[in-house]
Every structure is written in C-alpha cells, then in structure tokens.
Amino acid sequence: MDALNQTRVTEFVFLGLTDDWVLKVFFFMAFSTIYVLTLWGNILIMVTIIFTEHLHNPMYFFLSNLSFIDVCHSSVTVPKMLEGFLLKRKTISFDNCIAQLFFLHLFACAEIFLLTIMAYDRYVAICRPLHYTNVMNMRVCIQLVIALWLGGTVHSLVQTLLTIRLPYCGPNIIDSYFCDVPPVIKLACADTYLTGVLMVSNSGIISLTCFLALVTSYTVILVSLRKQSAEGRWKALSTCSAHFMVVALFFGPCIFIYTRPDTSFSLDKVVSIFYTVITPLLNPLIYSLRNEEIKSAIKHLRHRQVFFVKSCT
C-alpha cells in the first residue's frame, strides 16, 4: 500500500475530442457559442419565472429548477473542454478530477429525478385535474426538490467513493474530455469488476428505472387524452411531446454509457456531448421558449425594464 501511495498519479491527461488544429478552432467557436447561449437561455428563464408572479406555480417552479441545474451541469464540463481546445497538453489534477466527477453526477442525477417529478406533475395535472392543487401544492413541490438534491448527493457520493477507493499508479491518460467514473476507473491499478457492477447498480439502474417511470407516466397521459376535448388534447400533447423529447435526449446517452461499464466505444465521447453540452441548451428552447406564457412574460419584463430606463432618464 505504501508503494501505491508513493506512485499515485497527481494528474490526468485528457485526449479530448480531436488533435486536428482546424477542428479544434471550429469546436472551440461552436461550443463557446453553445455554452453562452445555454447560460443566457437558462438564466433568462430563471429570472422570468422569479419576477413574474402568475408563473409561481408547480410547473414553472420545476422549470426554473431545471434551468438552474442545466447551468450548473454544463458548467462542470464545458469550460474545461474549451480550455482543452486551446492547449496542446490537456491536464487536470487528481483532486479536480474527483471534484468534477462528483458535481457531474450530482447535477446529472438531480436532473434525472427532476424530469421524473415533472412527468408526475403533468400526470396529475392532466389525469387528476380536480386534485391537482391539493396533490401538487408548493409545500410538496419544495419537499420534492429537497428530496431530489438529497438523492443526487447520495448518488454522487457513492460514485465518488467507488472511484477514489481504487489505487491509481499509472497510466494517467483519459480518453475523454472530462472526468467520469467509467474512463477513470479503467486507469486503476486493481481489479475494477466489482466497482463496475456497483456503478451499474447505482447509475444504470437509476437512469433506466426513472426512464421507465417516465414512459409509463406519458403512456397513461396519452391514454387519458381520449376523454378530453380537441383543444385540451392538443395542448396536453404539445406539452408532453416537448417533455418527452428532452427525456429521450438526456436519458438515452445516460443509459447508453452507464449500463455497460466494461465496454468502451469510440462513440462514447459523441454521446456524452449530448447530455453535457447539447441537452442543457435544448431544455430552455423545448420546455420554455416555445411556451406562450413564458414568451409573454419575457416581453412584459423587457417592457418594464425599458419603462424603468426611460423614467430614470
């Protein structure tokens, strides 16, 4: 054990997405734009919901939490990825790698739980409308959000402890652009079979179970729509289709990566981009900026700001 401690790696080296300089410049510009739009879109939604009183209801409360999670989730990996496009040697210290891994799983798991809660919220709103205000009051919503953060923290701690308990004495090259459990534990100087099984039991089962719960919720909603009017059916379908699109884009990559820890595909990095970079950008577009109430509230806030500026001048 002393020998392992003396030769323990102090940093990891990322291979990144490409070594081609032209592609690096292109990716840097593209992902920088995506990151700025992600921050702008999600912060805009949070501010709009916070400062618009008639949006203070469970659905928009969950949407504002989703935007917050997306800002945090993308900020865990994207800045380091952008830095890597500018550097010849892309490194991260061991401690920072573990921290990145912890927060990646914290925000990813929180989003998984939140999307599941949002599906339940839509189920109650559409299938049990008379009981909606009692079942999904703000006290319950706050309790659910606290529970999802506690669940995400427990999940992330488990993943982190599974990773740091292994000895790392070299090599230290990670075939990715961020630290995650599957590529990191492959570098351990020990048998990682049990760790891989535990990882699947934790990440894979959570992703798969929540996804099946979501599919069940939306299936029940679609069946119940037959009893509603054409206008109500169309509104519900529009909302649920947007929600399910985000679910598919986020859960698909998670299930693909975290249900097979002992297998490595070159496609992994491309798939990872979807849930670390693309989905946080699409969430505000799909969930909120298509929503007429959100767009109307944004216009109202903008006009209020213009009026404020004019009155000051």
Per-residue pLDDT tens over the stretch 178-207: 998 888 988 998 888 887 777 777 777 788
d(CA 57, CA 79) in angstroms, rounded, equals 33
Domain ranges of the chain: 7-312
Residue from 186, 192, 151 nearest 170 by CA: 186
* Average pLDDT estimate for 235-243: 69
The H-or-E segment that residue 296 falls in is helix 292-312
Give 10's DSSP letter.
S
Write out pLDDT tens, residues 49-86: 998 888 898 989 999 999 999 999 999 999 999 999 99
Classify domain 7-312 by CATH number.
1.20.1070.10
Whole-number pLDDT of residue 235? 66
Would the pLDDT of 104 be above 70?
yes
Give the pair of three-digit tokens for residue 66.
């989703």
DSSP assignment letter at 131: G
DSSP characters over 4-33: HHHT--SEEEE--S---HHHHHHHHHHHHH
Residue 248 sits at φ, ψ, to 5 deg, of -65, -40
